[in-house]
Chain A
């Protein structure tokens, strides 16, 4: 976890079972859709996100949680770092990958329950 508390952030991680990129959403679930991510806009809210990430990593729901700092750009909130923008959007070159098969669109599996 970053020592510096960013002001405007979401928390991301990888889903344990398949490694998919997930974000903590408004309902406290880990969601693959960045648009549903819960955005913290104060240091207390950021700390709460961090705590939840640590807790869910300990519960073996997600792996390697960390904060992603955002900024406003053209009326939208986007990550400051290109790395995180690529992480959200996925590989930029999939259209050129030979034989690429997109995964079937599925409802996010419920991974909010603690592993047995």
Chain B
């Protein structure tokens, strides 16, 4: 886990006290909304379609049981009994009263949490592979570096008013579970020939209205130069990024317009100037932070999992929702927040408490939040899997669908979001119900739904992506195919004219049935089949059938 030092503790308390005063002055009328808005945004408070919304930072998606219980307590005490886990590994409460938010922030500070830099044009919560520290695939734990970046970027005076928001993701396995190439900066940790650790630095990726895949601008950056190089990138962006048009203000536009090589050259020149300065990371400091994330003591003498009777549901769940752990006696468990027909990413206070109990008892006190809106128990002894499954089943969270068609990402959409044009969640629910019976036959399929062009539901990188738009005051949905946020990052392509709320569910099923009909076999997943077949057969199935 990350650890607050005295500075963090004192700073967060001071910020809560400061915000308490600002809220009081807003409620008394001393501050206007124009004066207050930037202050509330700096503390993660948005005004959404129906109410205020508070976004809480979960650094690289890592939570302790104590922190999860606190989130449950806040949901129960100040909100409406649930929370929403987001595609940036954060948590949102949808109904807090403004007058209660200072108390909520005080409660969060009790467990070393806050909502700072979850909004505004600053460096946002750093995300990382949700299997970090548990998977055998990684070269080192990416959270060490995510934490170093968190410390550097928190309240960075030079980067508190960037042209636009700025998102960093870190990955350390060949499999990219952090979608690094659709971030402003994506960092791929690797071991180089000398035996040391280094980064490939990707810059200028992102989704939104102008989706772009990040460009590799630096290879083999030694770990001690991580911060100086990031500082150089941010500095060039801060100087050169557009501030005249918010739709062209992200770094992806700058990299695209300048070109990756000229941009990299500018960064390189700045970096040469500062690389051996105060930001050069001492080895002992990197190793010290590494100890924050040390693998817990795992046992090698555990008995094998035993079932009292064969249980097909358990077997399916083990196959779908567990992943190989670096320790042979353990597994990484995905807790699906996608029950069939449910609301992606939502968890009740009771479920959060239950997950906290499970983490404490079976997963060395750790929970992770994934960008796919699920939770992870990272260190579960295989012998404990039946007990964990049973407990998850009791709280309705044992759906064996990780990576399948019903494991859908959906943004809050028009049901909550002031920016949205169309609802995402009901579409997700309907697709989930429609495809549930055949999801095992379909195999791996990532469906991602956004309720507007801002793409919080990652539709650009969905194997099947859905974008909600407004057409003459009504909801309408565009369909995209062939995207991926994984290591082979690709942007999805639009199929053609969009569909109404009922038609989009039929359209998704048509795409799925076409894939099942044309694939070479179950071993050819949707993305591979799409790469082979291209758009045409899907287009024909969608629009010829419609025209007939």
Contact = CB atoms under 8 A, between A and B. Distances in A.
Given A81-B470, A98-B396, A99-B350, A18 B51 contact: yes
A57 B27 contact: no
Nearest to A86: B414
Interface in A50-88: 57-60, 63-64, 80-83, 86-87
A90 B49 CA distance: 9
A100 B82 contact: yes
B474 interface: yes
Interface stretch (B255-263, B326-334, B338-346): B338-346
Interface in B399-436: 414-416, 420-423, 425-426, 429
Interface stretch (B28-36, B312-320, B488-496): B28-36
Interface of A: 14, 16-21, 57-60, 63-64, 80-83, 86-87, 90-93, 96-103, 114-116
A82 B474 contact: yes
A93 B473 contact: no
Contact of A91 (B26, B81, B415): B415
Contacts, number: 113
Contact of B50 (A19, A102, A115): A19
Given A19-B97, A60-B29, A83-B421, A100 B52 contact: no
Contacts of A19: 47-48, 50-52, 97-98
Interface of B: 26-29, 32-33, 47-52, 75, 80-82, 95, 97-99, 341-343, 346-351, 396, 414-416, 420-423, 425-426, 429, 470, 473-475
B52 A96 contact: no
A38 B27 CA distance: 26
B29 A59 contact: yes
A93 B99 contact: no
A90 B349 CA distance: 21
A97 B33 CA distance: 31
A81 B418 CA distance: 13
A63 B426 CA distance: 29
A79 B465 CA distance: 29
A7 to B, nearest CB: 15
A81 B49 CA distance: 14
Contacts of B421: 83
Contacts of B350: 99
A93 B81 contact: no
Contacts of A115: 27-29
A100 B28 contact: no
